[in-house]
Amino acid sequence: MADNKVEISASIMCIDWLHAARQLEILEKHGIDYLHFDVIDGRFAPDFTMGSSIINKFRDRSKLRSDYHLMVEEPNQLFDCFQISPGDIFTVHQECCRNLHRDLVTLRRLGARVGVALCPGTPLEMLDYVIEDVDVILIMTVNPGFMGGKLVPQTLRKIEKLRELISDMHLDIKISVDGNVNFANVRNMVAAGADILVGGSSGLFRSDMDLEDSIKRLKDCIDEGLQQR
């Protein structure tokens, strides 16, 4: 069930690559919960991001749990490319899996906390018959692809509806939110029911603010959102 702990997952595709080691230290120092790794194949979503060799380098340098987000067609072909440790989240898109339930079962056997992601236009009803088998549902609040996408406002209502569904079914599922997680939107996302926020270029790794300052501001906005629940 939902609690009052909202976790932060730092989107590594948005990190300052010239100062990545230092920024990893800051993320750990200030209690960030996960490193969020976006894997994009250029087919389901535009752009390309990190491969497994780069991701594993970050894992070797950090004690933080991993939060994998695969935006690729038929992600099961890549499952064996990644290291999975207890507590890691591994999320695949409903829109990408020909046999979603089979993929979720495979991930569970590999030891992951299992996640399913939904694009803005994908209804919650697409989770029928698999929702009991997931630990995390990731709501995309922008269309997947490049950094800095614009918030799709209807997705806030989608978060609220999902929170009600989880509560009505008495399930222990976390709601993760990814896309335009900036200071203005965080309060509403948390108030709507978000449990995990993916911090990227608009909220965490900002060009106009030191990372330590943006972490503090983000946490303040989370507290404000919790007061509105």
For 183-214, b/e burial (b = at least 16 CB within 10 A) is: bebbbbbbbbbbbbbbbbbbbbbbeeeebeeb
Catalytic option among 33, 38, 41, 88? 38
Per-residue pLDDT at 146 = 62
Question: Can you tell me the distance from the alpha carbon of 191 to that of 4, in angstroms, rounded to the nearest whole number?
Answer: 11
Q: How confident is the model at residue 51 (pLDDT cuts 50, 70, 90)?
A: confident
Q: What's the one-letter identity of residue 120?
A: P
- Residue in 223, 204, 206 with CA at minimum distance from that of residue 33: 204
Helix (H) or strand (E) holding 100: helix 100-109
Q: How confident is the model at residue 2 (pLDDT cuts 50, 70, 90)?
A: very low
Per-residue pLDDT at 50 = 85
Per-residue pLDDT at 171 = 98
**Is the per-residue pLDDT at 31 higher than 70?**
yes
pLDDT per residue as tens digits for the range 55-84 = 999 999 999 999 999 999 999 999 999 989
Q: What are phi and psi of 194, to 5 degrees?
A: -65, 140
pLDDT per residue as tens digits for the range 95-124 = 999 999 999 999 999 999 999 999 999 999
DSSP 133: G
- 178 catalytic, yes or no? yes
Higher pLDDT, residue 178 or 1: 178
Question: CB within 8 A of 125, min separation 6: which ones?
Answer: none
Question: Can you tell me the distance from the alpha carbon of 139 to that of 119, in angstroms, rounded to the nearest whole number?
Answer: 7
Q: What's the one-letter identity of residue 107?
A: L
**Is the per-residue pLDDT at 217 higher than 70?**
yes
Catalytic option among 33, 88, 135, 178? 178
pLDDT per residue as tens digits for the range 151-168 = 999 999 999 999 999 999
DSSP 150: P
Contact predicate 141/118, CB 8 Å: no
Mean pLDDT of the chain: 94
Average pLDDT, integer, range 185-207: 97
Q: What's the one-letter identity of residue 145?
A: G
Q: What are phi and psi of 57, to 5 degrees?
A: -65, -45
Per-residue pLDDT at 47 = 76
Question: CB within 8 A of 226, min separation 6: which ones?
Answer: 4, 6, 190, 191
- 41 catalytic, yes or no? no
Q: What are phi and psi of 49, to 5 degrees?
A: -130, -135
Per-residue pLDDT at 1 = 42
Per-residue pLDDT at 164 = 98
DSSP 28: H
Per-residue pLDDT at 148 = 66
